[in-house]
Amino acid sequence: MSLLVHLTNVLNLICPVRETFGLRCRLYRAGGIKVGRGTRITHGVAFYDRYITIGDAVWIGPNTRFCSTSKAHITIEDNVDIAPCCCIMSGTHEIGGEMRRAGAGAGRDVRIGAGTWVGGNSTVLPGAIIGPGCIVAAGSVVTAGEYPANSLLAGVPARVRRPLSKS
């Protein structure tokens, strides 16, 4: 992780919520994270590495965590809302032997489609590809797989519960 991203994570813990949206975005951009125009990153958000692309007009709620790796990137498309206390990760491990089950590092790309709303305390795991216009219900765990556009995802593990209207 770049030193600037780490320092911005620390600064992000103490900065006021609204007064420093622009400063946060500028600092994360300088640290190598791609942050779109009009995006708002609230306090307590932390990025663990810089392999993240965030689109335009994205809202990232307090205490959300992003864990990316050089081998597996995270892409958040335009107009996505991420509620507080979410975790989005692209890194994982192969299953190791009995002496250490977390084997060699691995990862799979994550994509959250445009216009999606991720509810509070949700987790998006490596390999999850969420189509545009979805809602991820609060507390859901989205596992690897492709989820169709305009769907309500809910549960542990998350499943498509019903289609959503396009209007």
Q: Catalytic residue, from 6, 43, 73, 93: name it.
A: 93
> What's the rounded Cα separation, in Å, for the pair 147 and 39?
24
Q: Do 25 and 39 meet the contact criterion of CB atoms below 8 Å apart?
A: yes
Total Cβ atoms within 10 A of residue 30: 12
> What's the rounded Cα separation, in Å, for the pair 117 and 44?
19
> What's the rounded Cα separation, in Å, for the pair 111 and 80?
11
Q: Is 93 a catalytic site residue?
A: yes
Angle at 62 between CA 78 and CA 72, to 5 degrees: 55
Q: Which residues are catalytic?
A: 93
